[in-house]
A and B are shown apart, each in its own frame.
Chain A
Amino acid sequence: EAQVTQNPRYLITVTGKKLTVTCSQNMNHEYMSWYRQDPGLGLRQIYYSMNVEVTDKGDVPEGYKVSRKEKRNFPLILESPSPNQTSLYFCASSLSSGRETQYFGPGTRLLVL
């Protein structure tokens, strides 16, 4: 089954404790992206990747890191989480950027205390 998976789905952590949210797709998609969703703000793009080893900042990259060492995986790293990073995070992928719809993962709900 074609899908985008994220882990964990739910996470409660404390300020400053490094964490990684994994994202994997099995569709051989080139383009992958991370978003955060906050009430009243819609979705905001954090980082995106056009292909392996090619990443770029979205609109809200501060406090996040990403890497794209393999085509299928695009982990999101919070090196020192803060309470303002409490949010619902979505990973998405598409065959390429621009003309293709994006497929979204199930989401990761993060609470930073």
Chain B
Amino acid sequence: DIVMTQTPLSSPVTLGQPASISCRSSQSLVHSDGNTYLSWLQQRPGQPPRLLIYKISNRFSGVPDRFSGSGAGTDFTLKISRVEAEDVGVYYCMQATQLPLSFGGGTKVEIK
């Protein structure tokens, strides 16, 4: 099974400042079809997860452009260019390259 490891566990950020979250997989996420099925999800308190980014760097419909994803192989990053109050929550990376699908442990973004 692929293990997803996120750092940091918590990220206190000043409003308007950037935030960055890292995700590392225990093996390459490049699928045999050439795609890399790495997604980022946001979970606000009391809500289900919400898709932000799919296939490393593609923003899902309605996601603000302050969110961006990058990376390749086993190392991936989610960046928020300027954190807003509504960005508070827990962020998860998820791989769908191989069954079983697996999630990172989460990174909590909070305002300083």
Instruction: Say if A and B assemble together.
Output: no
